[in-house]
Structure 1
Amino acid sequence: MSRYKSLELFKFGVYVTIPVLLVGAIVYRPENLEAIIRNCLVTGGNGFLGQHLVAQLADSGEYEVTVFDIRPPVIPFPGVKYITGDLTKEVDVDAACKGKNVVFHCATAAPTAANAANLKLMDAVNVQGTRSVVEACARHGVSRLVYTSSASVVFDGSPLVKVDESTPYAARHMDYYTGTKAQGEVAVLAANGRGGLRTLALRPSGIFGEHDTLLVPSVASNAARGKLKYIIGSGRNCMDWTYAGNGLGYPRPSVRLPFHLVFFIALLMQYVILPLLAPFKKIDSDFTPFRIKLASVDRTFSCEAAKRELGYRPAVSLDEGLRRTLASFQHLRRGVGGARPKST
Structure 2
Amino acid sequence: MASTQERWCVVTGGRGFAARHLVEMLIRYEIYSVRIADLGPDIKLETHEEKGNLGQALRLGRAQYVSMDLRDKSQVNKACEGAEVVFHMAAPDSSINNYKLHHSVNVLGTKNVIEACTKYNVKRLIYTSSPSVVFDGIHGIYNGEESMPYPSKHNDSYSETKAEGEALVIKANGVNGLLTCCIRPSSIFGPGDKLLVPSLVAAARAGKSKFIIGDGTNMYDFTYVENVAHAHVCAERALASDGSASKKAAGEAYFITNMEPIKFWEFMSLILVGLGYERPKIKIPATVMMPIAHMVERVYKILGPYGMKVPQLTPSRIRLLTCTRTFNSAKANDRLGYSPIVPLQEGLKRTIESYSDLRAELLPRKEGPSKAAVFLGNGLVADTLLWRDRRLTLTTMLGLVVFYFSFVLPGTTMITAISKVLICASIFLFVHGKLPDHLLGYTFEKIPESKFNFSEEMTRRTALSVASSWNSAVDNLKSISSGNDWMLFFKMALSLFIVSWIGSISLANFFVKVIPFTFVAFYIYDRYEDEVDRIVKTVFPIERLSNPDVLRLLNPFKPLDKHD
TM-score, normalising length: structure 1: 0.83
> Does 2:316 correspond to 1:290?
yes
After superposition, the Cα gap between the structure-2 partners of 1:329 and 1:283, relative to the gap in structure 1 and judged at 3 Å, is: same
Q: Residue 351 of structure 2: SS of its match in structure 1? A: helix
Given the alignment, which residue of 329, 343, 348 partners 1:303? 329
Q: Residue 335 of structure 1: SS of its match in structure 2? A: helix
Distance in 2 between residues matched to 1:185 and 1:279, nearest whole Å: 31
> Does 2:211 correspond to 1:230?
yes
Given the alignment, which residue of 62, 72, 81 partners 1:89? 72
Cα displacement string for residues 166-224 of structure 1 (whole angstroms, at most 9, x for unaligned residues): 01112211111111211111111110110100110000111011111111111111121
Cα RMSD of the aligned pairs, angstroms, is 2.3
**Percent of aligned positions with the same letter in both sequences?**
42
Answer whether contact 2:300 2:310 (CA < 8 A) is retained. Answer: no
Corresponding residue for 1:159? Answer: 140
Corresponding residue for 2:290? Answer: 263
Distance in 1 between residues matched to 2:304 and 2:66, nearest whole Å: 37
Offset at residue 118 of structure 1 (A)? 4.0
Answer whether contact 1:332 1:338 (CA < 8 A) is retained. Answer: no
After superposition, the Cα gap between the structure-2 partners of 1:81 and 1:106, relative to the gap in structure 1 and judged at 3 Å, is: same
Q: Which moved more, 1:69-78 or 1:123-132?
A: 69-78
> Does 2:81 correspond to 1:98?
yes
Answer whether contact 2:98 2:157 (CA < 8 A) is retained. Answer: no
Given the alignment, which residue of 92, 98, 111 partners 1:131? 111
Distance in 2 between residues matched to 1:110 and 1:280, nearest whole Å: 20
Instruction: For 1:90-239, list aligned pairs within 5 A.
Output: 90-112=73-95, 116-157=96-137, 158-239=139-220
Cα displacement string for residues 82-120 of structure 1 (whole angstroms, at most 9, x for unaligned residues): 1122221111100111111110001110224xxx15433
After superposition, the Cα gap between the structure-2 partners of 1:338 and 1:291, relative to the gap in structure 1 and judged at 3 Å, is: farther
Instruction: For 1:4-153, list aligned pairs within 5 A.
Output: 38-71=7-40, 72-74=43-45, 75=49, 77=54, 78-79=56-57, 80-112=63-95, 116-153=96-133
After superposition, the Cα gap between the structure-2 partners of 1:307 and 1:280, relative to the gap in structure 1 and judged at 3 Å, is: closer
Corresponding residue for 2:274? Answer: 247
Cα displacement string for residues 27-83 of structure 1 (whole angstroms, at most 9, x for unaligned residues): xxxxxxxx9x95211111111011000000001122211111112242351221111
Offset at residue 246 of structure 1 (A)? 2.8
| AA in 1 matched with 2:106 | N
> Does 2:343 correspond to 1:317?
yes
Higher relative contact order (CA 8 A, sep 6+): 1
Answer whether contact 2:73 2:112 (CA < 8 A) is retained. Answer: yes
Distance in 2 between residues matched to 1:268 and 1:124, nearest whole Å: 27
Distance in 1 between residues matched to 2:34 and 2:16, nearest whole Å: 15
Distance in 2 between residues matched to 1:38 and 1:148, nearest whole Å: 22
Distance in 1 between residues matched to 2:306 and 2:331, nearest whole Å: 50
| AA in 1 matched with 2:33 | E
TM-score, normalising length: structure 2: 0.52
Which structure is larger by alpha-carbon Rg, 1 or 2?
2
Distance in 2 between residues matched to 1:291 and 1:222, nearest whole Å: 15
Distance in 1 between residues matched to 2:89 and 2:304, nearest whole Å: 32
| AA in 1 matched with 2:19 | G
Cα displacement string for residues 235-289 of structure 1 (whole angstroms, at most 9, x for unaligned residues): 1110113322232111111111122111222123224x33454576624201011
Distance in 2 between residues matched to 1:101 and 1:54, nearest whole Å: 15
Distance in 1 between residues matched to 2:185 and 2:333, nearest whole Å: 14
After superposition, the Cα gap between the structure-2 partners of 1:174 and 1:117, relative to the gap in structure 1 and judged at 3 Å, is: closer
Answer whether contact 1:224 1:339 (CA < 8 A) is retained. Answer: no
Distance in 2 between residues matched to 1:49 and 1:281, nearest whole Å: 29
After superposition, the Cα gap between the structure-2 partners of 1:337 and 1:304, relative to the gap in structure 1 and judged at 3 Å, is: same
Distance in 2 between residues matched to 1:52 and 1:132, nearest whole Å: 24
Structure 2 stretches of 5 or more lacking a match?
58-62, 223-266, 367-529, 536-564
Offset at residue 338 of structure 1 (A)? 8.6
After superposition, the Cα gap between the structure-2 partners of 1:317 and 1:175, relative to the gap in structure 1 and judged at 3 Å, is: same
Q: Which moved more, 1:273-282 or 1:153-162?
A: 273-282
| AA in 1 matched with 2:87 | F
